[in-house]
Amino acid sequence: KNQVEQSPQSLIILEGKNCTLQCNYTVSPFSNLRWYKQDTGRGPVSLTIMTFSENTKSNGRYTATLDADTKQSSLHITASQLSDSASYICVVSALSNDYKLSFGAGTTVTVRA
């Protein structure tokens, strides 16, 4: 079973509306959690990185929250735009000094006019 589960798998929203994506993880001990945006045919681009002590972080219209006690994170997109259509990937790292990250399968967001 994957240590990072994302939901929903995909969603469709109308331009201008808000949406929230969920990420649940079992990675332990926890170090940090990241959200990446991946446009079709491109590589992932970092949106936010949060450590244990941070429970919210914003990047423009993207706001990520973290509850390290319940091991849950969400990514909220405000006033969606057509350019927000992409896959959003949650990535969690354990408290270790190496290169092993746990990736979620992503949520595909489609914004329609």
Partner 1 sequence: ETGVTQTPRHLVMGMTNKKSLKCEQHLGHNAMYWYKQSAKKPLELMFVYNFKEQTENNSVPSRFSPECPNSSHLFLHLHTLQPEDSALYLCASSQQGFATNEKLFFGSGTQLSVL
The contacts of residue 85 (CB under 8 Å, 6+ apart) are: 39, 109, 110, 111
Report the residue from 7, 18, 46, 81 that binds partner 1 according to the rule CB under 8 A: 46
CB of 21 to partner 1, least distance (A): 15
Among 13, 22, 24, 32, binds partner 1 (CB under 8 A): 32
5 vs 78 by CB, closer to partner 1: 5
- Window contacting partner 1 (CB under 8 A); options: 53-61, 63-71, 72-80, 97-105: 97-105
Quick one: tokens of 3?
């240590």
- Calculate the CA dihedral of residues 108, 5, 91, 32 and round it to 10 degrees: 140
Least distance between partner 1 and beta carbon 11 (Å)? 15
Distance between start and end Cα atoms, the chain: 37
What whole-number distance in Å separates Cα of residue 33 and Cα of residue 93?
A: 6
Instruction: By CB under 8 A, name the binding residues for partner 1.
Output: 2, 4, 9, 31-32, 41-46, 49, 89, 93-106
